[in-house]
């Protein structure tokens, strides 16, 4: 497996925050249409957030910002196109963790180097939740672990794609708990969730965006959340960490990055504009309405977060010996 030097990733990400003389002419940006590429099909959480922010940026800039969906290869096709774009701020990438933090450990060829992205902003975060079929013979993490240990390899877990955070969340749980499940890979979230509802599989990790309403309707049961603290929508549901697996963390997140060599002053401006937008009460409310928590961090803080996530999931992938695709 290819080794990713997280230290070099950190240095590369932070170096991109330094100003350059060539970037100073960009302060009038934008003067024309801005493309925000989402490297997944339309309709998912990333796409929904991108369209919300594109609308707000269009108003603020008095220039049109459009969302373009370029799906395929776990986000690599659209991301590679952005990486090849002119670094002038008019083509940006809005993605979840894959193209920024995890794909480098999973794919032999991607068409881009994630260490060379210019960080713009960490936009929003959300928990992954541990979901069981409604009639599964366990209702807590401890009960699930006990059942898995007494029935090794018999509990079935749905994973929405090898290397997805949903998949890696299950792998991390297995590693910390010392259990093994029979993992069943699906091509996407919808099919996996449908089989959980139909009780064809026992468990999976999902986001509240799709599972919360089903949990409230009694069609599935959420037994733990992957964040380090309990979440607002499910105050009665404990974290995985407080359920007996300290150190466990599994969150999804959404970020914007720019092509390599994008001027720092330009990236700073976009970051400031996004922070201002996400801090507005109406936008924050809409973001929380799609089960995401808006984030208003500096570019340096975003870059550090990317490094931490790269280190976390890289360790999980290496220890689990997940092969390169």
pLDDT for residue 248: 94
Same-domain pairing of 268 and 197: no
pLDDT for residue 27: 61
Tokens 């959480």 — which residue? 45
pLDDT tens track for 256-278:
999 999 999 999 999 999 999 99
Rg (CA), the chain: 20
Beta-carbon contacts of residue 121 (< 8 Å; ≥ 6 apart): 255, 256, 270, 271, 274, 275, 295, 297, 299, 302
Q: Could you tell me the pLDDT band of residue 232, with boundaries at 50, 70 and 90? A: confident
Q: The domain spanning residue 171 has which CATH number?
A: 3.40.190.10
Do the domain assignments include residue 231?
no
Do the domain assignments include residue 238?
no
In terms of phi and psi (left: phi > 0; alpha: psi -120 to 50; beta: otherwise), the region of 173 is alpha
The stretch 245-250 carries a mean pLDDT of: 93
N-to-C CA span, the chain: 10
The stretch 264-293 carries a mean pLDDT of: 95
Do the domain assignments include residue 12?
yes
Do the domain assignments include residue 201?
yes
Same-domain pairing of 120 and 31: yes
The secondary structure of 172-210 as a DSSP string is HHHHHHT---EEEE-SSHHHHHHHHHTTSSSEEEE-HHH
pTM: 0.82
Query: Is the per-residue pLDDT at 186 higher than 80?
Result: yes
Do the domain assignments include residue 324?
no
pLDDT tens track for 14-57:
545 555 444 454 568 999 999 999 998 888 889 999 999 999 99
Same-domain pairing of 147 and 206: yes
Q: Could you tell me the pLDDT band of residue 1, with boundaries at 50, 70 and 90? A: very low
Same-domain pairing of 115 and 138: no
Same-domain pairing of 58 and 149: no
Whether the Cβ atoms of residue 307 and residue 4 lie closer than 8 Å to each other: no
The residue out of 208, 225, 242 marking a domain boundary is: 225
**Containing structural domain, residue 267:** 6-126+252-319
pLDDT for residue 151: 92
**Domains in the chain, number:** 2
Same-domain pairing of 109 and 28: yes
Query: Is the per-residue pLDDT at 3 higher than 50?
Result: no
139 compared with 43, residue with greater pLDDT: 139
Helices (H), the chain: 6-15, 45-61, 76-84, 141-150, 165-177, 189-197, 208-216, 264-278, 281-289, 299-319
Q: Tell me the C-alpha distance between 124 and 120, whole Å.
A: 13
**E strand or H helix at 219:** none
Do the domain assignments include residue 245?
no
Do the domain assignments include residue 133?
yes
């Amino acid at each position: 497996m290819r080794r990713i030097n997280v230290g070099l990733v950190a240095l590369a990400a932070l170096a991109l925050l330094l100003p350059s003389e060539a970037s100073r002419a960009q302060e009038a940006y934008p003067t024309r249409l801005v493309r925000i590429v989402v490297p997944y099909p339309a309709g998912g959480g990333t796409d929904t957030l991108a369209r919300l922010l594109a609308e707000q940026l269009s108003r603020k800039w008095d220039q049109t910002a459009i969302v373009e969906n370029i799906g395929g290869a776990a986000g690599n096709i659209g991301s590679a196109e952005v990486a090849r774009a002119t670094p002038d701020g008019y083509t940006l990438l809005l993605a979840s963790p894959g193209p920024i933090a995890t794909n480098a450990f999973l794919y032999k060829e991607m068409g881009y180097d994630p260490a060379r992205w210019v960080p713009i902003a960490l936009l929003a975060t959300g928990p992954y939740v541990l979901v069981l079929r409604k009639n599964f013979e366990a209702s807590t993490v401890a009960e699930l672990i006990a059942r898995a240990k007494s029935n090794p390899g018999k509990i079935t877990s749905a994973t929405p794609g090898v290397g997805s955070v949903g998949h890696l969340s299950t792998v991390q749980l297995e590693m910390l708990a010392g259990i093994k499940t029979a993992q069943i890979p699906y091509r996407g979230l919808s099919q996996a969730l449908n089989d959980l509802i139909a009780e064809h599989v026992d468990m999976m990790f999902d986001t509240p965006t799709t599972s919360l309403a089903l949990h409230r309707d009694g069609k599935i049961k959420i037994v733990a959340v992957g964040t380090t603290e309990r979440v607002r929508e499910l105050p009665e549901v404990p974290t995985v960490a407080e359920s007996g697996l300290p150190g466990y963390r599994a969150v999804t997140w959404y970020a914007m990055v720019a092509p390599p060599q994008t001027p720092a002053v330009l990236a700073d401006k976009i970051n400031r504009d996004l922070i201002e937008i996400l801090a507005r009460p109406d936008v924050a409310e809409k973001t929380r309405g799609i089960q995401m928590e808006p984030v208003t961090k500096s570019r340096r803080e975003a870059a550090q977060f990317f490094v931490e996530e790269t280190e976390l999931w890289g360790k999980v992938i290496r220890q689990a010996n997940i092969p390169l695709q």
